[in-house]
């Protein structure tokens, strides 16, 4: 086991550490470090649920500068994986400053655009009966992530309630404008 | 230690959700980590020595209590419950059925909402109106009224339906159609309270499994409060899209300083407890820096993608 992996696992399994950002080891050895991102993504993919949750919390502490590397893991073609990772990216974006949005868009667009053709339906495992208002797909969430970066006031809910065919049309228009470099 | 600053924290738990394990987990957490006030039901306190703050917490289960909380100066308020598709927070007793009997509940708690939303919203006839035995007021106009506070998707439905000459039952475009004509069996169904609330109802959109109708909601209850609270966390599905725009208006009208935590997606996670844990850890939910701590902590799966909004 690499030294870094050992460090990360020790922190993840230490229940006394509730806030990773308060740990000096985390800040100096793990935060925004490329090898750590790789290790955390591996834990997120292959470990038990409690450890996955802790790894997710740790990743949420990473800065927007790490998003290119984090989003590169979206290439793995698994609906749940992509959906989880998009959620993580969205949280990191939601705690970033508004003036960072364009930089983030440029940093992640190449990794997110391929997801616009992923029609895989996202299945949530709610423990209780919630009011399901829409059924979203990976392509919808990827589209909304990019739209939120370009237009922070974009009304996600209206898009999600559209018929799938109309959503596909909107996504296709977006993709076409992207390919023609008409988006910025 | 100097006298700590008192801050009220009110957690209003809605109908049905009060029976979920998250709600009992929250009470267990408070019993373990805060000091229970044995003279009052569901009251606790927690002193945050480092910040010289004393949190006075209470868990409430009634609409009147939620309303009171929104006007409690400086309070942190959490609503943990159903959005009711935008009809507003609803409260009720424990173990209430999805369709409570009219003899025990002449006023159905599922439709006794705290009105704080758009003028008009879209709800499914079967999954909502029939299932919860409600009878919401249908959108009464042929076209959009002059001042129409509704989301774009609803405005589009209304405007398309207004010009649509065809009103075939199965067409996918919006059109105002009588449910009785297009689905007589469903329209004639009596609900669990013995009422046929779909009999004269129209629907505007057909989904694969339901008929979507337009109903009136408005802001009757929100317009009675001044939003004196400092934080409102609406921990209910898609709360940003259902309630934020009405809250933002009210905040402006009343020069309120309340900040909001809102969900952007369907949610079903124990984020209220995480919110309280973050408070006890000393984070400030009203500041920009503090809010980031809350958002990260609450960034768990199925949390509904929470956003901090002013």
pLDDT tens per residue across all 310 residues of chain B: 578 899 999 999 999 999 999 999 999 999 999 999 999 999 999 999 999 999 999 999 999 999 999 999 999 999 999 999 999 999 999 999 999 999 999 999 999 999 999 999 999 999 999 999 999 999 999 899 999 999 999 999 999 998 866 678 877 789 999 999 999 999 999 999 999 999 999 999 998 899 999 999 999 999 999 999 999 999 999 999 999 999 999 999 999 999 999 999 999 999 999 999 999 999 999 999 999 999 999 999 999 999 999 9
- The whole-number pLDDT of residue B195 equals 97
Exposure class string for A146-165: b at 16+ Cβ within 10 A, else e = bbbbeeeeeebbebbbbeee
How many domains would you assign to chain B? Answer: 2
* Domain-ending residue, one of B166, B200, B216: B216
Work out the average pLDDT over A77-88.
94
Let me know whether B38 and B79 are in one domain: yes
At B193, list the tokens.
Answer: 């309270």
Q: Which residue of A has its CA nearest to B85?
A: A131
**A112 beta partners:** none
pLDDT at A183 exceeding the cut of 80: no
Please answer yes or no on whether A124 and B151 come within 8 Å at the CB atom. Answer: no
Nearest to B295 among A94, A125, A133 (CB): A94
Let me know whether B77 and B144 are in one domain: no
A156 shares contact with chain B (CB less than 8 Å): yes
- Cα–Cα distance, A15 to A176 (Å, whole number): 48
At A10, list the tokens.
Answer: 């020790």
> Is the Cβ–Cβ distance between B40 and B90 less than 8 Å?
no
The answer to whether residue B292 is domain-embedded is yes
The answer to whether residue B26 is domain-embedded is yes
Give the minimum alpha-carbon distance from A96 to chain B in angstroms, rounded to a whole number. 9
- The whole-number pLDDT of residue A184 equals 66
A61 shares contact with chain B (CB less than 8 Å): yes
Give the minimum alpha-carbon distance from A136 to chain B in angstroms, rounded to a whole number. 10
Residues of B in contact with A60 (CB under 8 A): 296, 299
Let me know whether B177 and B207 are in one domain: yes
A34-53 confidence digits (pLDDT tens): 999 999 999 999 999 999 99
* Domain-ending residue, one of B184, B201, B216: B216
- The whole-number pLDDT of residue B17 equals 97
Let me know whether B76 and B16 are in one domain: yes
Let me know whether B303 and B241 are in one domain: yes
- Report which of B250, B258, B268, B269 is spatially closest to residue B308, judged by C-alpha positions: B258
A161 shares contact with chain B (CB less than 8 Å): yes
Provide the residue range defining the domain that includes B182.
118-216
**B124 beta partners:** B212
- The whole-number pLDDT of residue A134 equals 86
The answer to whether residue B36 is domain-embedded is yes
> Is the confidence metric ipTM above 0.85 for this complex?
yes
The answer to whether residue B93 is domain-embedded is no
Please say whether the dihedral angle defined by the alpha carbons of residues B228, B229, B235 and B239, taken in this order, is positive or negative. Answer: positive
Instruction: List the CATH number of the domain containing B23.
Output: 3.40.50
* Domain-ending residue, one of B189, B216, B243: B216
The answer to whether residue B101 is domain-embedded is no
pLDDT band at A132 (very low <50, low <70, confident <90, very high): confident
- The whole-number pLDDT of residue A77 equals 83
CB-CB neighbours of A48 under 10 Å: 8
Let me know whether B15 and B159 are in one domain: no
Q: Rounded to whole angstroms, what are the CA distances from A31 to A3, A4, A26, A67, B296?
A: 15, 11, 6, 12, 15
């Amino acid at each position: 086991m690499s030294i870094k992996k050992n460090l990360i696992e020790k922190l993840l399994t230490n229940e006394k550490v509730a806030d990773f950002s308060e740990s000096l080891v985390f800040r100096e050895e793990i935060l925004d470090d490329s090898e750590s991102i790789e290790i955390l993504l591996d834990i997120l993919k292959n470990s038990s649920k409690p450890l996955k949750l802790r790894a997710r919390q740790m990743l949420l502490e990473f800065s927007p500068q790490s998003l290119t590397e984090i989003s590169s893991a979206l290439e793995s073609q698994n609906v749940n994986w992509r959906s989880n990772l998009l959620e993580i990216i969205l949280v990191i974006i939601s705690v970033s400053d508004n003036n960072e949005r364009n930089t983030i868009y440029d940093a992640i667009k190449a990794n997110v655009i391929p997801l616009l053709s992923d029609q895989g339906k996202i299945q949530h495992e709610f423990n209780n009966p919630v009011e399901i208002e829409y059924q979203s797909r990976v392509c919808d969430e990827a589209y909304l992530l990019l739209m939120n970066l370009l237009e922070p006031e974009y009304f996600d809910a209206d898009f999600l309630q559209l018929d799938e065919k109309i959503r596909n049309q909107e996504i296709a228009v977006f993709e076409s404008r992207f390919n023609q470099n008409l988006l910025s | 230690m100097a006298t700590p600053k008192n801050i009220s924290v009110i957690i209003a738990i809605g109908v049905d959700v009060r029976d979920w394990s998250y709600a009992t987990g929250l009470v267990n957490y408070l019993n373990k980590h805060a000091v229970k006030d044995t003279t009052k039901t569901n009251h606790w306190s927690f002193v945050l020595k480092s910040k010289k703050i004393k949190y006075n917490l209470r868990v409430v289960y009634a609409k009147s209590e939620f309303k009171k909380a929104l006007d409690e100066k400086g309070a942190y308020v959490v609503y943990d419950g159903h959005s009711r598709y935008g009809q507003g927070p609803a409260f009720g007793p424990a173990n209430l059925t999805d369709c409570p009997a009219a003899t025990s509940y002449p006023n159905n708690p599922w439709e006794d909402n705290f009105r704080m939303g758009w003028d008009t919203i879209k709800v499914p006839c079967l999954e909502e109106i029939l299932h919860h035995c409600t009878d919401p007021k249908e959108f009464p106009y042929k076209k959009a009224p002059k001042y129409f506070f509704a989301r774009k998707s609803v405005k589009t439905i209304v405007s398309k339906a207004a010009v649509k000459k065809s009103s075939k039952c199965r067409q996918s475009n919006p059109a105002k159609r009588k449910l009785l004509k297009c689905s007589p069996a469903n329209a004639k169904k009596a609900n669990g309270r013995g009422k046929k609330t779909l009999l004269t109802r129209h629907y505007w959109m057909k989904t694969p499994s339901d008929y979507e109708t337009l109903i009136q909601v408005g802001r009757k209850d929100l317009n009675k409060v001044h939003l004196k609270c400092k934080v409102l966390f609406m921990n209910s599905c898609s709360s940003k899209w259902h309630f934020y725009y009405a809250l933002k208006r009210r905040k402006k009208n009343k020069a309120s300083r309340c900040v909001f935590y809102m969900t952007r997606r369907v949610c079903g996670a124990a984020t209220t407890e995480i919110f309280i844990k973050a408070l006890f850890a000393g984070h400030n939910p009203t500041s920009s820096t503090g809010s980031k701590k809350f958002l990260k902590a609450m960034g768990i799966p199925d949390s509904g993608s929470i956003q901090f909004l002013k």
